[in-house]
Amino acid sequence: MAGDVLVLTNADMEGLLTIHECIDAVETAFRQLGQQVARTIPRSRIYLPLDGAGPGDTYYWFNNIPGAVPAFNTMALRIDSAQVRIREVAGLRRMEWPGDFAGLVLLFHLDTRELYGIVHDHYLSPLRVAATTAIGAKYLARSDARVLGLFGAGEQAKAKLLAACAVRPIERVKLYITTAERRRQAAAELARLAGVEVEPVSHPREAVEGCDMVFCATNSNDPVFDGTWLQPGTHVVHNIGSDFFVKRQEIDEETVRRAGVVVVNLKQQVALDEQPALVNAIRRGYLAWADIHELGELVIRKIHGRSNDYEITLHDNNVGMGIQFAAVGALVVEKARAQGRGTRLPLDLFMTRREGVYAP
């Protein structure tokens, strides 16, 4: 075992991980969570208004996500110190994170308690979200799903497109983003990235109708499409993990009402943050709490996926989890060490030794 702590910047990690590797690692983490071997606690956040930053719409934001996965001998803690701003674009409220920020994942060995990695989170985050999306699609989407409706064209959308292609025979993508002048450019970029046809569409309805899967990858606070447009058999992925402070959802209640199977990453987070996409449906009687299941349960087959090819399935990718970062973090550190990447710091800078008078 290395006697140092490896520090990896986003640039250090570029190109180290494939989406297939990430899917395998994150599926292992969710399998162990379903088996009650891995451990996680809900994500928590702090919002503080910033003086002089605007009429109550700009905040200091701290994000905290822990989780441990024995398969990787790793406990991960993701933390972010950033600024968040809420504004309206094209009629939809959205969250933005302007300016520089500190986003880190701390990685600890379970057996020795030692810190072994300090890793920037920006490179890893889209990959672990996309891998989680792929796992949901693997167990919920129809095996012959070939047409993907995609909302968004940022890093999350790029990674999700690759994830979709990794688990289903995607031949065509219908892309919608609100900025008209960006659509054609983004479609060409995504087509080169994934090697599939990507069609820019001018209305959200076109990115839903005729699609086998519909993936949301936006930063909108409001629904981006009408659930009545979904065709039977569609698999839907909701990307927004609303928290207690800012209520956000990319899907409407009709989408939830029509879903025959509803799966989330962590059910406890739905209740803790009163996440509106599902909680509002429960309050109106469209959905029962007992009908919401967790991805870990699906992976170990404690619950079953779709019952037929006409059922609409919903994966509410509702929260980031430390187990995801433990999986991809352990993997990226191993690969970076093998290639001599990153900066090594003395382990003793971060450890309190028992021969002294200090104790936890």
Report whether 167 contacts 138 (CB < 8 A). yes
What is the average pLDDT across 289-297? 97
- 253-269 average pLDDT score: 97
| Domains of the chain from N-terminus onward | 4-125+322-349 (3.30.1780.10), 134-316 (3.40.50.720)
pTM: 0.94
Place of tokens 């993990």: 241
Give the 3-state DSSP-derived string for 129-186, with helices as H, strands as E and coil as C: HHHHHHHHHHHHCCCCCCEEEEECCCHHHHHHHHHHHHHCCCCEEEEECCCHHHHHHH
pLDDT the model gives residue 360: 55
- Over residues 160-172, mean pLDDT: 98
**Residue at token pair 């006409």:** 310
Flag whether pLDDT at 174 surpasses 80.
yes
The pLDDT of residue 36 is above 90:
yes
Structure confidence at residue 95 (pLDDT): 78
The pLDDT of residue 356 is 61
Q: What is the predicted pLDDT for the residue at 1? A: 42
pLDDT in tens, 208-225: 999 999 999 998 889 999
Residue type for position 59? Y
